[in-house]
Amino acid sequence: MSSTSPESQNLRHKTQTTTSNHKGNVFAEPQALTKTPRKASTQGTVLTEIQSNMGPLMTPTKGRETGTGEPWTPTSNLKMLMSAASPEIRNREKELCIDSEGGDAMDPELGEEGEKQISRKEKSLGLLCHKFLARYPDYPNPALNNDISLDDVATELNVERRRIYDIMNVLESLHMVSRLAKNRYTWHGRVNLPQTLAKLRQVGEEHRYRQQMQQIRQRSLEKEFDSDGEEKENEEVEGGEQGMKEMFFVELPGVEFKAASVNSRKDKSLRVMSQKFVMLFLVSTPRVVSLDVAARILIGEDQVADQDKSKFKTKVRRLYDIANVLRSLKLIEKVHVTEERGRKPAFEWTGPEDFPNVKETTATTATAKRKLESRTSVDNCAKNLFSSPGSKRSFTRHPSLIKLAKSIQEDRRKINSAPTSPVKNDSSSSEFFPTKMAQLAAICKIQLDQQSNKVVDRTPKPAVTVTEALSAHQQKAAKKPGAPQPPVLTPTETRASTVHLTPRAQFTPQPTGAMSFHPAQCSPLIPMLLPQHQGGGPYAIYMHPSSFRPHPLTRPQPTSLAVRSMTFEDKTGRSPSDVTVQGHSSATNKLPTSSPSALKRVCSERTSEESPSKAKRIDPSTRDTSPKLCDILQARLKARRGGLLSSRPSPRALHLDPEFINTPGSSVAVAANQTLEQNLETFLEKEEKVTTSDSEAGLTPVRAVPLNPQHLHTETLIPTGYLIPISQQSLFSYKDLHNTEGSKASTPTYNIYHTPTAGSRPPPIQEFTPTSLPLHRPPPSSPFSAQGHRFHSPSPAILNFTLQNLGLIPGPGSVPTCSPGTATTPEHPSSMPSPLPPHLGLHQRGGMVFVKPMSPVPVQHQMTGPGGQPLTLISLQQMTTPKGTALPQHSFFHTPLATMVTTSHGHTAPAGNKTVYIPQRKLDVTTEDT
DNA sequence: CATTCCCGCCATAAG
DNA sequence: CTTATGGCGGGAATG
């Protein structure tokens, strides 16, 4: 929108040829400033960017809707600082203290100019992404306009457009943004991240990525010799379905589908690749995926052994691009897997482990929808057909279709909205954004459930968190019973760590004390509402919906979305795919649609884990295992069905519009039925299978895995089209409970959730470390001019940086607070009994403080930034990823089995501790089931 | 040398 | 046609 945009673009293009300088200057806001020394400098080939200098000068001209422009200088300064620091130090984070000013501070010598070498890192995609993310709240107020203008972003961040596309593509793959139109995207933040992840995991399982990964790993281990042939075969067999490598983009429901237009362009790589990559993490047992394995899988077809190297290389390049973005989202971290042979670059998942899908299904409201569905579905189908990957489809984006969809959707919404959706917002606090609150609540809930206690911990005590984390891991990893839980604890703090995985460890799941307590927590957490049943239900396959989006600004309907999510499964009784489900208890999965059951289900998951006895049995079923089982089952099914269900496997053909279609009536229902049957069958077979599978995997089948048939995922229709999950927003109330528990209650929950980190992972200790942020608010005097002045809507990014620089980072041990500026309610750590000694992880590594923009408007009360702008302070554990910082995190995540983590520096983590591992095979990944 | 991954040419899709 | 997107790979920076 800004006038500048065109100009800038033009300039860019033009400039390209001659010099590299491109970017920067131009956008900087032409109008305002004159000062552009940088331009000249830039041009000069050398990278030096003088920008830093400029910074102060610049006024934040650009502010647009997004949040206002950020002056960018500061940012750049920060950047510089970081970069400077980082190189030397592996950690980016800590150094900040330094200072304020940008350039000089850091460098003793150079003073201002100094930066010349910006080292490549400054330009890295990860950093850029960080800056980008800093501009938007993790959980934006839906009511606000969350539009993102590419031009503005490019300008403000001072980067070429091309780079923004890279970021947007991956964010889009996670549904954190969606494309509205030409230069416009809408920011969704992490609101539907849980759903997205759940969905991706589901899809990933369906694709049997886990198996594929295992095969590849094995193969590689054993090099060519012997076995590979066979193994391969096996896969391929199943692969029939696999064939569908080309999956399409997985879509989410509701909010996001604005992107209708998106699907168009072949949907080639980045977006899809990113999703696949994430899927790999979600299905792999140790949440570690090595680069090459990922590349191989992503290559897709690759069946043949090594394909071109070049292709591989290219793929790897892309993976790095994606990884950098994911890293900035804190979803993954770089690690090294040491196999026998050497260490390979790999990434470890650090995002949320579980995301129960929350979905609400509202069972009701089928009425109108069906009709709608039918239509849409048709359209969708058509569309799908057209759009085959690779080839160009003329049809993509038919306007007509889009419109249709829109209208339908709207209708649907209206219809749906009221009844089911539980709208309770307790939000007294949430005055303005009920919807948002709801979403948040939902999210929270989800997180809580998943993480079980983690959330709680986060605020109060680290120790707790750790424990939980451990327990979770344990479960996954399933240790031997004898093994104590503590093992995991080792606080390894390395950031970039090397993980050594021993191949199979045998483990039995064991009940650990820790686990036991989980249940209790769960129950409390879950309290109110679990949304309906889980499951696959929530997702619907979606073609691409039209880009319908209600008003950006005004969109009330959050609830409606929730409502809309219906699950097909109801009919059949079983949800087609229920990722989460695995209730141990119910052999039959059919959960009635009733919500209560859903809750139970969730609980059950947790409980299952916990309960020792059950744990064993059930564990397998639980997330980790389940996938396997699923895979197996699926494989079986496929084999059988073969022809029968061709439809299913090849998703492409089907497109269902989720929303519209939710009702089971159509194909879905059928599918569901099939699935049930299949499940049973598979289940029976399963045992056999299990063995085989294990063997395939390379794992010794130590234990028989008891599977619950239930878990199996049915294959849902998903594969084909876009999947749309249902938005969870409905849940809300939860937070109340939460709050109460946590000390924070008073503060609007919103804040809490806000914390970026919070959402996802069990926070390693570090999070806590940061002392209370609020205090730190940068004094006006702070070196950065920007801060002082900033009137309103300062760019959050800047603040963040500043804070960091100022040394806000607290020492260890401090309480993590996310208090709003004003109150800063201290959340004292609630005194949770932490089973584990704190020492584990804590280090002060320096948490970072992050300031995120809150939803601008309303939030004010909560906190007010220096300028009066609303700010939320959050402690982050790690900023970006640099390897250097020491974080304990990894250790937790690693399966207890045999992983050892080495710090980047090389000091090994404290011992493998209790991990039991049998070093037989090098391969890390071990499946664990029981 | 290997790993990372930035840069930006240039093919395509959109408008 | 002009733009907007984004695949893709050279090759530079780093390790």
Cα(A732)–Cα(A460) distance, integer angstroms: 21
A548 touches strand B (CB under 7 A): no
Interatomic CA–C1' length for residue A9 and nucleotide C3, angstroms: 10
CA angle A249, A252, A253 (to 5 degrees): 140
A271 touches strand C (CB under 7 A): yes
CA of A394: nearest nucleotide by C1' is B13
Least confident of A279-293, A305-319, A830-844: A830-844
Segment A598-607 mean pLDDT: 33
Cα(A5)–Cα(A26) distance, integer angstroms: 10
Interatomic CA–C1' length for residue A329 and nucleotide C15, angstroms: 24
Chain C positions within 7 A of any protein Cβ atom are 3-11, 13-15
Cα(A513)–Cα(A483) distance, integer angstroms: 11
Cβ neighbours, 10 Å, residue A620: 30
Q: DSSP assignment, residue A191?
A: T
- Kindly tell me if the per-residue pLDDT of A176 is higher than 80: yes
Which long-range CB contacts under 8 A does A378-381 form with residues at least 24 apart?
A379/A404, A379/A405, A379/A543, A379/A657, A380/A542, A380/A543, A380/A544, A380/A655, A380/A656, A380/A657, A380/A721, A381/A543, A381/A653, A381/A654, A381/A655
A389 touches strand C (CB under 7 A): no
Segment A61-67 mean pLDDT: 32
Give the pLDDT confidence score for residue A304 in this predicted structure: 54
**A661 within domain boundaries:** no
**Which run of H or E residues covers position A342?**
strand A342-349
Give the pLDDT confidence score for residue A264 in this predicted structure: 52
As for how many domains chain A has, the answer is 1
- Kindly tell me if the per-residue pLDDT of A246 is higher than 90: no
Interatomic CA–C1' length for residue A12 and nucleotide C14, angstroms: 28
Q: For a pLDDT cut of 70, what percent of chain A falls above it? A: 18
DSSP letters of A209-273?
Answer: HHHHHHHHHHHHHT-SSTTHHHHHHHHHHHHHHHGGG--------GGGGGGGGGG-S---HHHHH
Interatomic CA–C1' length for residue A399 and nucleotide B13, angstroms: 15
**A744 within domain boundaries:** no
**A183 within domain boundaries:** yes
Tokens of A820: 């709003």
Interatomic CA–C1' length for residue A119 and nucleotide C12, angstroms: 11
Give the pLDDT confidence score for residue A345 in this predicted structure: 86
A278 touches strand C (CB under 7 A): no
Most confident of A34-38, A90-94, A127-131, A539-543: A127-131
Interatomic CA–C1' length for residue A390 and nucleotide B12, angstroms: 12
**A633 within domain boundaries:** no
Crossing angle between the packed helical segments A612-621 and A513-525, to the nearest 10 degrees: 70
**A168 within domain boundaries:** yes
A309 touches strand C (CB under 7 A): no
**A324 within domain boundaries:** yes
Whether the pTM exceeds 0.85: the reply is: no
**A517 within domain boundaries:** no
Q: Which residues contact A314 (CB under 8 A, 6 or more apart)?
A: none
Bridge partners of residue A875, in order along the sequence: A849
A343 touches strand C (CB under 7 A): no
- Euclidean distance between the first and the last CA atom of chain A, given in angstroms as a whole number: 56
Interatomic CA–C1' length for residue A879 and nucleotide B4, angstroms: 19
Give the pLDDT confidence score for residue A323 in this predicted structure: 92
Tokens of A515: 């686990």
Encode pLDDT of A301-345 as tens digits: 545 555 567 888 888 999 999 999 999 998 898 888 777 667 788
Cβ neighbours, 10 Å, residue A259: 27
When the pLDDT of each residue in chain A is averaged and rounded to a whole number, the result is: 44
Going by their DSSP bridges, the two strands A184-187 and A332-339 should be labelled as unpaired
569-588 on A, CB < 7 Å from strand B: none
Task: List, in sequence order, the alpha helices (H) in A480-535.
Answer: 513-525
**A86 within domain boundaries:** no
Give just the sign of the alpha carbon dihedral A691, A581, A210, A918: negative
Most confident of A116-130, A362-376, A380-394: A116-130
A124 touches strand B (CB under 7 A): yes
A150 touches strand C (CB under 7 A): yes
Cα(A182)–Cα(A172) distance, integer angstroms: 14
Domain boundaries, position A154:
125-224+265-349
Most confident of A85-89, A181-185, A709-713: A181-185
590-629 on A, CB < 7 Å from strand B: none
Residue entry with tokens 């969109």 = A555
Q: How many CA atoms lie within 13 A of A900 on its CB side?
A: 20
Most confident of A206-210, A730-734, A820-824, A910-914: A206-210
Q: Which residue is nearest to nucleotide C5 (CA to C1')?
A: A165
| SS3 (DSSP) at A168 | helix
Segment A892-913 mean pLDDT: 33
Q: Which residue is nearest to nucleotide C4 (CA to C1')?
A: A182
A323 touches strand B (CB under 7 A): yes
Encode pLDDT of A617-638 as tens digits: 333 333 333 333 434 344 444 3
A311 touches strand C (CB under 7 A): yes
Chain B positions within 7 A of any protein Cβ atom are 3-9, 12-15
* Contact status, residue A62 vs residue A155, Cβ threshold 8 Å: yes
Of A621, A631, A678, the closest CA to residue A238 belongs to A631
Cα(A4)–Cα(A11) distance, integer angstroms: 10
Task: List, in sequence order, the alpha helices (H) in A495-587.
Answer: 513-525, 558-564, 569-572
Of A41, A76, A40, A39, the closest CA to residue A56 belongs to A76
Give the pLDDT confidence score for residue A768 in this predicted structure: 29
Tokens of A174: 């996670």
